[in-house]
Structure formats: C-alpha cells, structure tokens
Structure 1
Amino acid sequence: MAIPRWFLRTPSPDAQYRLLCFPYSGCGASMYVGWPQWIGPAEVVPLQLPGRENRMREPHYGTYEQLAEDVVDGIAAYLDRPYAVFGHCGGALPAFETVLRIQAAGLRPPERCFVSSQVAPQDGPYGRFLGMTEEELRDELRRLFAALGSKNPSADMLDLFLDVMSADLEANRKYHKPVTAGVSCPLTVIGWDADVEVPHRLMGGWGRWADASTVVLPGTHYTFLSAPDALLERLRTDLAGG
C-alpha cells in the first residue's frame, strides 16, 4: 500500500495517540530524524509538506492558510483518535493555523497544540530570518545542516533548500492574524533560554488564544532537533495530561 503523501511513513493503526509534527522552515519531514518514533503512548508523525524531499516536484503551498486547508483535507482520516500537534519557529504558525482550520471544519480537535520558538500570530511576523539576504540565508542553512549532522552540504543541495526556505519565509511574512474566539485545545508554549532568534519573553501573546502553559527549556534555537530529555519530558507530561 502506498504511503499517503503527507507522511514519510504510514501512521501506525495501533497507535493510541499521534503527535503530528510540522517541519521547520526550509525543511522536510526528515528533519525529525533525531526524534524517537514514540513519546510515551504517542507516535511521532512528521508531516511532509509540498515542495520538498519526496514532494519536491509539487508547487509550494503559498500561504499558511492554504497549507492548513490542504493538510486538513489530506490527513482528516488520521484524526480518528487522540492527537496533538507540534511546530517549532516557522513550523509553529502553520501548525496553529491547521488547528484553527480543524476547528472551523468541525473535525475532532487536538488534545493539545505545542508551539516552540515563535511569537503569537497577532504579534508577527517576527524574526531575523525574514530580513536576511540570500547569502545570509545560505549561511544559516549551513548552520542548520550542521545541527542536523551534515557538515559539508553541496552547493546544489544548499540552492535547493534555499528556494524552499525563501518560499517558506515569504509565507511567514504574509501571516498576521488578530485574536479571534481562540481555540478549544490547550497550548504548551515552549521557549529556550539561549534562543537569540525568538527570545522566550516575546511569546506571551499565545495566552490570548487559549489556556496556555509556558515552559523555558535549556538550549538554543536548534536544540529541539536532537529531542533533548527536557523537551521529551515536557511532551510526555502534557500529552498524558491531554
């Protein structure tokens, strides 16, 4: 049976719980290679977005609103059991927009939404990356590749990822959303004490959307890639609490 295009692997039919993970700007689902496949009873399910990795030939989604609509259409059948969503920085906003879309469609809501290293929708767009030149973004991609364990990416690979990251950042620039009625699921807002890209003190606006709990973990902007114990423990605790 073919793997549904929104996943790198078909979600397990035996999972009690699913944690749907949105990729970081410029990346595909394989960026979660350093994460365990299970966190407690929850299966970690990275989402694969168009325009990258095995969906490279597909056009970019354009806006977070369009992406959220497409994601919900594509994964609705997998919202058949308790689940949560996770997104970091450029993945947090489309994750949250997807929760809004799920709610508007009257589908089963997530038990929780985890947002890491990102300001709330009404406080953006925000971030140093949004004002970077092409060469500065290329340097940032080199740092991202190093964090993922690839020290010497080829020029062709950098160009490929640069195109995707540039399109993702343009979607971020377009996204600004005033607070509306909010969302019914609770939020876990995750900051990092040494994150200079999105300082945790700027993330307080999420509490205007839902019941939000905030945690500041030790680490930098890219620490989440290695699934550190402090992050896994918080995920386990909040997944168990619904």
Structure 2
Amino acid sequence: MRDAATPAALFHVPRPLPDAPLRLVCVPYAGGGAGVFRGWHTGLPGIEVAAVRLPGRESRYTDPPYRTMGPLVADLADAITATADRPYALFGHSMGARVAFETARRLRRVGGPQPRCLFVSGCRAPHLPLRPPTGHLTDARFVQELRALGGAPPQFFADPELVALLLPMLRADFGVLESYEHAPAAPLGLPVRAFCGDADPHVSPAQAAAWRAHTTSRFGLTRVAGGHFYLAERRDTLLRTIREELARSDSPPKEGR
C-alpha cells in the first residue's frame, strides 16, 4: 500500500470515538472531498464518522488523483482492513456509491471484513449504463457539464483560476467513473439501502431501485426531496434513515453465495 494511501491519509475523522461500537466510512462524489460530510458526526451520535479524503483535493492537493476504479478500491479496502477494530458500514454518493460497492466486493474476494450495511446514494445500480462520457470534451464543454450537474456553487465557476486549478482532479474523478466496467458476481449478503433525490435528473427511482439485484439481504429505497446533490439540504432526513437502518443491522451479515 502506498504511503499516500495509508488510513491516516485516506480517512478524516472529525470526532474520534474510540469506544463507538460502529464506524461509518463515507465516500464522496466526483470532485468532492471529506468536507462533503462535515457535521455528519453531530447527526450520528455514538457512531464514528470516517470521511474518505481522496488525493488531489483539500489537504491532499499535491497527491496525484486516482484515474481508474481498481487502485482506488484496492487502497480503500486495505485502509478499512487496517482499521478494522470494530464493525463498520459504507456510505457513498454518486461516484462514491460505486466505489463503496466495489470496495465491499473486493473485501469479500480477499476475505476482509464486510460492512454491516451498504448505503448507496444518487447512483444508478452498477449494472446499468452511466451518463454519456465526458473524457473527450474540451475544457470549456467539460465545465459546462459540471455546471449542469449542479454540484458546485456559482462562485466556483466565476473564478477561472480556481476552475483551471481543480480541472485535472475533476477530469480524473470522472475518468474513474467512465473507465468503470461492472463485472457480474454473486450478490452481496448484507443490507443495502439506496437513496434517490425525487427531482434528480440523472438517477430515476427505478434506476436506484435496481440496486436490489445486488444483495441477498434486506433492501430499501428512500426517496428524498431534492435533486442530485440533495445531501446538504436534506441531511437530517438522510442521517435519520441511516441511524434507523444501522439500528436494524446490529448483527454480522450472512454472506451470499
């Protein structure tokens, strides 16, 4: 495992809770960082929140970003294994949902610790096609696509120097998604809870519900008021559902065959 992929580098724990019975590992969307999950620990009492701090942004700005799914998933799985001092669950939004899913599958393959629950948000089921690729677009057209997605505030696009500074990282993140190829495998044997914004133009309720095919355990779909980036506006609703689901997932899952 590379030095830049150690747990200390990958995980940002805003409030360490050594005695917490469970850890929630949170994976951000493309272009996002650990700051996406700022304040989550206040809405998840008794749960230690570990936000994944990907390279190429925030305090890891000088670290080269991942460009494909495989190395990212391998490093995250290693970091989870190295810190497996208690049960944990995985949450991912958009790109982060597929990363979390593939991490759970990798850990199953290598005999690593499985999460108590997998939360996938704002993401089509992995066997469904993604949005049209963006890797071939000029910088100007790529920025237009980013603006249409709505994940960054207008101030970001009003600062050309900032856009130019972060563009390589953003293109790398989209490359992680667009180079991803789903490989069929046995469903996971753990609960999966999917979330979908009811006004999300990129992920329909049916596409989110299709995650059901990837578990032999309990599945649920929660529709949340908002678009693709509903996380901040509906944080209380989201965290309440996570708390309720984790309370139901208080015993180790039986692995699917």
Question: Do these two structures clear the TM 0.5 threshold for a shared fold by scoring above it?
Answer: yes
| Inter-CA distance 36–145: structure 2 relative to 1 (3 Å threshold) | farther
| Alignment partners' CA distance in 1, 2:55 and 2:172 | 11
| Alignment partners' CA distance in 2, 1:174 and 1:105 | 23
| Alignment partners' CA distance in 1, 2:131 and 2:101 | 18
| Alignment partners' CA distance in 2, 1:183 and 1:76 | 18
For 1:205-224, list aligned pairs within 5 A: 205-210=210-215, 211=217, 212-224=219-231
TM-score (normalised: structure 2): 0.82
Structure 1 residue matching 2:182: 3-state secondary structure: coil
Structure 2: unaligned runs, 5 residues or longer: 1-5, 250-257
1:165 aligns with 2:166: no
Structure 1: unaligned runs, 5 residues or longer: none
Offset at 1:136?
Answer: 4.4
* CA distances 1:58-114 after superposition (whole Å, capped 9, x unpaired): 222222121110112223232221211111111111111111111112122100000
| Inter-CA distance 208–130: structure 2 relative to 1 (3 Å threshold) | farther
Offset at 1:178?
Answer: 3.5
Structure 2 residue matching 1:123: 3-state secondary structure: coil
Indicate the percent of aligned positions where both proteins have the same amino acid: 33
| Alignment partners' CA distance in 2, 1:218 and 1:22 | 21
Cross-structure match for 1:81: 86
1:4 aligns with 2:8: yes
Structure 1 residue matching 2:56: 3-state secondary structure: coil
Offset at 1:127?
Answer: 2.3
Q: Is the 8 A contact 2:69 2:176 kept in 1?
A: yes
Tell me the number of residue pairs that the alignment of Structure 1 and Structure 2 aligns.
238
* CA distances 1:127-170 after superposition (whole Å, capped 9, x unpaired): 267476533442465643329xx667632222233221211111
| Inter-CA distance 80–108: structure 2 relative to 1 (3 Å threshold) | same
Structure 1 residue matching 2:108: 3-state secondary structure: helix
1:200 aligns with 2:198: no
| Inter-CA distance 209–68: structure 2 relative to 1 (3 Å threshold) | same
Offset at 1:33?
Answer: 2.0
Offset at 1:34?
Answer: 4.8
Q: Is the 8 A contact 1:37 1:43 kept in 2?
A: no
Runs of 4+ aligned residues of structure 1 deviating over 6 Å after TM superposition are none
TM-score (normalised: structure 1): 0.87
TM-align CA RMSD = 2.5
| Alignment partners' CA distance in 1, 2:180 and 2:116 | 24
| Alignment partners' CA distance in 1, 2:97 and 2:223 | 16
| Alignment partners' CA distance in 2, 1:171 and 1:199 | 22
Cross-structure match for 2:151: 144
